[in-house]
Structure 1
Amino acid sequence: MKKIMIAISLAAVVSACDSPSKKGADVNPFFTEYTTPYGIPPFEDIKFEHYMPAFLKGMEEGRAEINAICQNPEAPTFENTIVAMDESGKLLRKVSSVFYGLTSANTTAQLDTLSKEISPLTSTYSDDIWLNPVLFARVKAVYEKKNELGLDKEQTKLLEETYKNFIRGGANLPEEKQAILRKLNSDLSMSQIVFGQNMRNEEAAYKLVVDSEKDLAGLTSTQIANAAKAAEAAGLKGKWVFTLHKPSVLPFLQNAENRSLREEIFNAYINRGNNDNGNDNKKAVKELIAKRLEKAALMGYDDYASFVLEDRMAKNSKSVFDLLDELWTPALKKAKEELADIQKEIDKNGKNFKAEGWDWSYYFERAKKAKYDLDDSQIRPYLKLENVRDGVFYVSNKLYGVTFTPLKNVPLPHPDAEAFDCKDKDGTHLGVLFMDYFPRANKKSGAWCGSYRSQGYENGKKITPLVTVVCNFSQPAEGQPALLNADEAETLFHEFGHALHGLFKDVNYKGVGGVPRDFVELPSQVMEHWAFEPEVLKVYAKHYETGEMIPAELIEKMSQSGKYGQGFATTEYLAASYLDMDFHVLKDVSADFDVLAFEQKVLGARGLLTQIPPRYRTTYFNHTMGGGYTAGYYSYIWAEVLDCDAYQAFVETGDLFNQEVAQKFRKYVLTPGGIDDAMDMYINFRGKKPGTDALLKNRGLK
Structure 2
Amino acid sequence: MRFSYALSIIVPMFACQPAKETAETINNPFVVELNEPVDFANVTAADLKEYGEYTINQSAQAIAEIKAVNTPTFNNVFGSFDDISNNMATASNKSFLMYWTSPDSLIRATGLAGYKRIDSLSTGIYSDKDLFNQMVSFTETDEYKALSGKKKLLVDDLIDGLEQSGVGLNAEDLAAYKKLNKEINDLTAAYATNMNTANELLVLNEVGAEGLPENFKKTYAAGESRYEVPVINATSGPIMKNAAREMTRKNYYMKFNNRASDKNLAILDSLVQKRYELAQLMGYDTYADYNLVPKMAKNPANVWDFVNGLVEASKGKAKTDLEELDQARAKSSGGVDESLDPWDISYYKNEILKNQYNVDPEEIRNYLPMDDCLDGMFAVYQNLLNLEFKKVEGGSVWHAEVDMYEVYDQGRLKGRFYLDLFPRPNKETWFYCVPLVSGKSKDGGYEVPEAMLLGNFTRPTETLPSLLSHGELSTLFHEFGHIMDKMAYEGEYSLQSGSKSDFTEAMSQIFENWIWDYETVSSFAKHYETGEVLPEETFNNMLKAKNVSSGYSSIKSLRNCIYDLNLYNLYDPNNKVSTDDLWKKIDGEMGLMDGYVEGTHPQSSWIHINTHPVYYYGYLWSDVYAQDMFSEFEKNGLQDQATGVKYRKLILANGSQRDIVEAVEEFLGRPSNNEAYMKSLGL
> When the two structures are superposed, what TM-score results if normalisation uses the length of structure 2?
0.91
Is the 1:289–1:589 contact (alpha carbons within 8 Å) kept by the matching residues of 2?
no
Of 376, 382, 391, which aligns to 1:406? 391
State the match for 1:10 in structure 2: none
Q: Aligned equivalents of 1:250 and 1:61: distance in 2?
A: 48
Q: Aligned equivalents of 1:316 and 1:146: distance in 2?
A: 34
Secondary structure of 1:676's aligned partner: coil
Q: Which whole-Å deviations, capped at 9, do the CAs of 1:423-467 have from their partners, x for residues lacking one?
A: 22x222211221122111222222111233222122151111222
Of 239, 252, 257, which aligns to 1:252? 239
Alignment RMSD (CA, Å): 2.5
Q: Aligned equivalents of 2:601 and 2:150: distance in 1?
A: 38
Q: Aligned equivalents of 1:616 and 1:555: distance in 2?
A: 37
1:12-27 mapped onto 2 (5 Å cutoff)? none
Q: Which whole-Å deviations, capped at 9, do the CAs of 1:32-61 have from their partners, x for residues lacking one?
A: 4369xx511111221122222322221111
Of 322, 326, 330, which aligns to 2:309? 326
State the match for 2:252 in structure 1: 265
Tell me, which stretches of 5 or more residues in structure 2 are unaligned?
1-21
Alpha-carbon offset, residue 263 of structure 1:
0.9
Alpha-carbon offset, residue 333 of structure 1:
2.8
State the match for 2:202 in structure 1: 208
State the match for 1:62 in structure 2: 59
Is the 2:99–2:112 contact (alpha carbons within 8 Å) kept by the matching residues of 1?
no
Tell me, which stretches of 5 or more residues in structure 1 are unaligned?
1-17
Q: Aligned equivalents of 2:326 and 2:624: distance in 1?
A: 32
Is the 1:518–1:632 contact (alpha carbons within 8 Å) kept by the matching residues of 2?
yes
CA distance change for structure 1 residues 476 and 178 in 2, over 3 Å: closer, same or farther? same
Number of equivalences: 657
1:326-345 mapped onto 2 (5 Å cutoff)? 326-345=309-328
State the match for 2:355 in structure 1: 370
For the pair 1:390 / 2:383, whether they are aligned, the reply is: no
Matched letter for residue 558 of structure 1? M
State the match for 1:657 in structure 2: 639
Q: Aligned equivalents of 1:586 and 1:538: distance in 2?
A: 48
Alpha-carbon offset, residue 315 of structure 1:
1.0
Alpha-carbon offset, residue 111 of structure 1:
4.7
Is the 1:226–1:475 contact (alpha carbons within 8 Å) kept by the matching residues of 2?
no
Which stretch of structure 1 is more off in the superposition, 686-695 or 516-525? 686-695
Is the 1:143–1:163 contact (alpha carbons within 8 Å) kept by the matching residues of 2?
no
1:279-318 mapped onto 2 (5 Å cutoff)? 280-318=263-301
Q: Aligned equivalents of 1:369 and 1:560: distance in 2?
A: 12
Q: Which whole-Å deviations, capped at 9, do the CAs of 1:237-284 have from their partners, x for residues lacking one?
A: 97321122122232112112222122111111122233xx3xx21211
CA distance change for structure 1 residues 565 and 443 in 2, over 3 Å: closer, same or farther? farther
For the pair 1:428 / 2:412, whether they are aligned, the reply is: yes
CA distance change for structure 1 residues 668 and 89 in 2, over 3 Å: closer, same or farther? closer
Is the 2:579–2:603 contact (alpha carbons within 8 Å) kept by the matching residues of 1?
yes
Q: Aligned equivalents of 1:613 and 1:430: distance in 2?
A: 49
Is the 1:355–1:611 contact (alpha carbons within 8 Å) kept by the matching residues of 2?
no
State the match for 1:466 in structure 2: 450
State the match for 1:166 in structure 2: 162
Which stretch of structure 1 is more off in the superposition, 661-670 or 57-66? 661-670
Is the 2:504–2:622 contact (alpha carbons within 8 Å) kept by the matching residues of 1?
yes
Of 32, 41, 45, which aligns to 2:42? 45
Secondary structure of 2:244's aligned partner: coil
Which stretch of structure 1 is more off in the superposition, 524-533 or 394-403? 394-403
Of 639, 648, 652, which aligns to 1:666? 648
Q: Which whole-Å deviations, capped at 9, do the CAs of 1:523-579 have from their partners, x for residues lacking one?
A: 100011111212212212222222222222112111111111312321221111111
CA distance change for structure 1 residues 282 and 115 in 2, over 3 Å: closer, same or farther? farther
Is the 1:577–1:633 contact (alpha carbons within 8 Å) kept by the matching residues of 2?
yes
Q: Which whole-Å deviations, capped at 9, do the CAs of 1:595-642 have from their partners, x for residues lacking one?
A: 2223322343222522478999322221122x2x31111111101000
Q: Aligned equivalents of 1:516 and 1:457: distance in 2?
A: 22
Alpha-carbon offset, residue 384 of structure 1:
1.6
Of 459, 468, 482, which aligns to 2:466? 482
Matched letter for residue 203 of structure 2? V
1:566-605 mapped onto 2 (5 Å cutoff)? 566-586=550-570, 588-590=572-574, 593-605=577-589
State the match for 2:14 in structure 1: none
1:537-556 mapped onto 2 (5 Å cutoff)? 537-556=521-540
Q: Aligned equivalents of 1:133 and 1:480: distance in 2?
A: 59
Is the 2:85–2:495 contact (alpha carbons within 8 Å) kept by the matching residues of 1?
no
Is the 2:414–2:449 contact (alpha carbons within 8 Å) kept by the matching residues of 1?
yes
State the match for 1:532 in structure 2: 516
State the match for 1:219 in structure 2: 212
CA distance change for structure 1 residues 650 and 264 in 2, over 3 Å: closer, same or farther? same
Matched letter for residue 195 of structure 1? Y
> When the two structures are superposed, what TM-score results if normalisation uses the length of structure 1?
0.89
Is the 1:584–1:631 contact (alpha carbons within 8 Å) kept by the matching residues of 2?
yes
CA distance change for structure 1 residues 533 and 287 in 2, over 3 Å: closer, same or farther? same
Is the 1:243–1:249 contact (alpha carbons within 8 Å) kept by the matching residues of 2?
no
Which stretch of structure 1 is more off in the superposition, 475-484 or 189-198? 475-484
State the match for 1:358 in structure 2: 343
Q: Aligned equivalents of 2:196 and 2:494: distance in 1?
A: 31
1:121-200 mapped onto 2 (5 Å cutoff)? 121-145=117-141, 148-200=144-196
Which stretch of structure 1 is more off in the superposition, 454-463 or 629-638? 454-463
Q: Aligned equivalents of 2:143 and 2:174: distance in 1?
A: 30
Alpha-carbon offset, residue 316 of structure 1:
1.3
Alpha-carbon offset, residue 345 of structure 1:
2.5
Q: Aligned equivalents of 1:644 and 1:373: distance in 2?
A: 28
For the pair 1:607 / 2:594, whether they are aligned, the reply is: no
Alpha-carbon offset, residue 108 of structure 1:
5.0
Identity across matched positions, percent: 26
Is the 1:669–1:682 contact (alpha carbons within 8 Å) kept by the matching residues of 2?
yes
